Amino acid sequence: MQIRNVFLDCSDKRCKIICNIEKFNFQIMPRIFIHTSLKDTDLQDDFEDKVAQKISEVLEYPLELVYINVSTGNRMINNGRKTPMMFVDIESVNRFNEKVNGDYTKVFIPFFASLLSMPTNRIVVKYYDVKGSDFGVVRQAPEFKHAEYYLALKE
């Protein structure tokens, strides 16, 4: 990574790191979409927190970079059955490929099955390897303390 012209901009009462980045291997946040036929009341209050923690650990991202969206009460059918199930879509940069996806599946499916008391055959995980340029995001201190993940944008 080569960074030049780094400075701190505190003009709007919130400090931001502004930099011009060259040859940066972007590893921007993972984004997780969870679709389930379970009702919202069937999920633990800290469900998103537990998922974020697991994603952070497994994909090796700082916790504050993990974005999660949970959609409950979806009308779903699989194998001719409408019993509880879930689809988990995980998007990340430079993390997924045919060599490692099986290893991730061995971690994520048992994790979700345990968290939701759901049979493993009712959980489907889809991995999306995306480019950093597919995302638009501004990270500002102090929420994002990991400078290597700051996106350089001039306003």
pLDDT 10s digits, 42-82 = 999 999 999 999 999 999 988 888 999 999 999 999 989 99
Tell me what percent of the residues of the chain surpass a pLDDT of 70: 70
| Separation CA 80–CA 48 (nearest Å) | 29
| Residues sharing a CB contact under 8 Å with residue 6, sequence separation 6 or more, in sequence order | 17, 18, 19, 20
Q: Report if pTM > 0.95.
A: no
Classify residue 53 by its DSSP letter: H
Higher pLDDT, 155 or 131: 131
Q: Out of 1.10.1040.10, 2.140.10.10, 3.30.429.10, 1.20.120.330, select the CATH number for domain 27-130.
A: 3.30.429.10
pLDDT at 4: 41
Alpha helices (H) along 38-100? 47-59
Q: Is the peptide bond before 142 cis (omega within 30 degrees of 0)?
A: yes
Residues carrying CATH 3.30.429.10, the chain:
27-130
